[in-house]
Chains A and B, each alone.
Chain A
């Protein structure tokens, strides 16, 4: 070992060649690692992209206030039946709007300002308040703490989404000189120069946005800005409040005309937040509300129920059918052309695009058999046909893993073939069949395209009660939310995806658990 073997094969040329071959080997290995890294980083990117957006939908900004439930407004004709109160949305909305007007008296000065203020809260947002009062009419005439979701644009702004703003601490106002009504001049030392430099950095070459100066419950817009002085227009509150509080400048680079909310509305939002009237609360309506045209009011409840109903139909059809078919093919089928054909057929069906099953549903179930459109029963049947091959293939694999000695043993003591299968083989194969069935159900739960074709994409505002009611499903809801243009739908869609994915994760965890618990090596 100590000395080099004396061989003519080890020439410099051969060594060089060997080095090249080894380098090629290392490169090849690296390609493999790169491929895996690429696939896994795509997965990570997907999870992060959806997770971060969904996170912002876990909370919601609401307008919270103590409101006196005036009987004249809530139940104008003294009628306190449930339906009558729920129908009287206008009355509840007036209550909430009046509260806002009391908070911001400057809004009652002009029609446009009134309009602006009413946009802070959607008319339909009081619906859950109305239902609450309708359930408990004794609340009428009493004072009640209510929470009403703020409009989606405002919610997006307050969460730091859009329009984005940059805040700069200005410090104390220094001197405030009021000249005309609502206008003033301040001269502050260091703070304003910081605002000036930040602003010029943000707006480099682009159209000018606005700068709002907030202190206490007062907010003013800076009309002209220089490093040592600024001219202000009061938007809400008073100059006294501004003078006595530490000031914060909100720089909004996007010009007012290009964003859905005005300076005035932003000012109100800031003031509401300062006063504790705009609160960030857990976004429970995401799972307790049904779909809506307004993102702040929309929820996934109807879609979740629709998906569950669909899955029930699918499970009732596909799981028994699949297991029985597998038992037949694996245990009873004679080897002939017919069973061969069935086998090829099943393998092929497993690879047929899901949309083709949708076409089958649209033409056969809706067209020929005139089953109801958009109903979970049709969706469930289509998905059952879709996952049938998956269930059959998994069940067959599970049956095959039961050793033949079990069958022979049963047959030897006089059981019939049917008894051997149903009393001995099937119980042993059951965990495997069950995991196959759950995986099939997971596939059905995430399937969208066939449901689109049988009309389950309709806007459904009521929770379906039975499998023949009009309904939608969770993945279809995700699709229709994703096709909405408004920015506020983005986090909502991501949140709905997270709900769907968590259901799928639960199903897969059950599968892993079953495998660990019941897996048997023969």
Chain B
């Protein structure tokens, strides 16, 4: 019996239940208010609909909270209960194995009953189904009970001079506030989970080894010196900015100062297309076109240097995936981030400054170089900072075109690895949440988050100051 309950489709049931509570609550409140207004001649403070909303709100709020709690906590609770009941032999297993065993149990019980020959597994699955069945039925009953209580409580309030509309509106405002607070909750979630996992990592590997060690070999040797990763990230972001900064800046200057309205209306959206292309597409482009191109140029340089006698052997590494390829493509991706923000900033420079410069006899380029750019400088710096932050955090291009080997080399045709590449490498495939190997990904993530946070905060601050200056 409980086992069958364990396979209840809770998603659909909860949705149906919530919808039912909502409509029932609304009807109950509304009907009661209308009855009152029919029987009594006195004026109602709020319209019957608001009484309906009020009752529905009281029915729905506890039900919704319970349903959310169920969705998030049911699985961990069921697992915890199951783990406690498991025989002692299971507790001797490493934690990762136990987790994957439980994963298998819940995966099997989510779909159909297990019909294999492992009798222990069958027994465990059955027990799991019983546990989750009783959890499910308890939840449904509690939700129903709380909804009924809420509706009854609210219904007793319905009366001609009850201020239902004010109540509903303050409830709605609270809901709106909660939605806005999700943004804070996300940040708190990010910071908390990164810190929590990083602290677990640093309890196994000293912070100094991580920040200043120069050997990274997390997959095989448990060497966690992240300096080569920082170097690779820095190098590739630098190459990207060498492309994006001049191109983006000059494009912005041309579009805002020289181009005709018509050119601008065509070119600007086209440049923004570059920002809309998924990064995995850039990664494929880098892998397919740019990396082989970089490699053949590097090989040609090697051959030429040997030919003219400047070198005895190959000078450049000429790897099939290279920092230069990844950096170039990333630079192209970042162009619109530089150009559109710089464009806004340049446009925001007051026309009077330009007119004054022209009146002094300056040419257009002199006006731009000596008046507009200095005035727009903070905004431009901010746009460059945002672009750098974008380049540091970019993942797919480097995963596909930058390589996996952690090393420090100034040769742009060699393959470097970055923070994001290593995070992906460490967390894809089978992961165990306890090994320092997996946890190191979170430490890297923390570094990435903090660095980009600094860049973003500075940039946002600068932009805000700048806006205030000219508004």
Contacts and interface: CB of A to CB of B under 8 A. Distances in A.
Interface of A: 21-22, 24-25, 27-29, 31-36, 38-40, 42-43, 45-46, 49-50, 53, 320-322, 324-325, 327-329, 332-333, 339, 341-342, 344-349, 351-360, 362-364, 367-373, 385, 388-389, 392, 416-418, 442, 445-449, 452-453, 455, 457, 466-468, 475-476, 478-479, 482-483, 490, 493-494, 497, 500-501, 504, 508
**Chain A to chain B: the 4 pairs with minimum beta-carbon distance, closest first:** A353-B393, A32-B254, A446-B278, A35-B250
Nearest to B420: A355
Interface in B311-370: 332, 335, 339, 363-366, 368-369
B93 interface: no
Interface string B234-255: 0000000000001111110111
Contact of A356 (B285, B339, B393): B393
Question: Which of B270, B390, B445 has the most chain A CB atoms closer than 10 A to its own CB?
Answer: B445
Given A416-B165, A452-B428, A385 B456 contact: no
Contacts of A482: 280, 283-284, 287, 400
Interface string B426-442: 01100101000000011
B284 A50 contact: yes
Contacts of A418: 169, 172-173
A466 B189 CA distance: 27
A348 B456 contact: yes
B8 interface: no
Contacts, number: 278
Interface stretch (B30-38, B54-62, B70-78, B152-160): B70-78
B182 interface: yes
A490 B366 contact: no
Given A32-B250, A35-B246, A452-B424, A359 B366 contact: no
Contacts of A494: 284
Contacts of A355: 393, 395, 420, 423-424, 445, 448
Nearest to A468: B110
B164 to A, nearest CB: 12
Interface of B: 11, 72-73, 75-76, 79, 103, 106-107, 110, 165, 169, 172-173, 175-177, 179-184, 186-187, 189-190, 193-194, 196-197, 246-251, 253-255, 258, 267, 270-271, 273-274, 276-285, 287-289, 332, 335, 339, 363-366, 368-369, 386, 389-390, 392-396, 399-400, 420, 423-424, 427-428, 431, 433, 441-442, 445, 448-449, 452-453, 456-457, 459-460
Contacts of B452: 351-353, 356
A333 B177 CA distance: 8
Nearest to B332: A42
Nearest to A360: B190
Contacts of A25: 363-366
Nearest to B433: A367
Contacts of B258: 29, 32
A342 B452 CA distance: 18
B4 to A, nearest CB: 19
Give the one of B11, B75, B254, B270 with max A CB within 10 A: B254
Contact of A325 (B183, B251, B281): B183
Contact of A347 (B189, B332, B448, B460): B460
Nearest to A497: B281
A321 B183 CA distance: 10
B280 A346 contact: no
Contacts of A445: 278
Contacts of B173: 328, 332, 418
Nearest to A329: B180
B274 A39 contact: yes
A321 B179 contact: yes
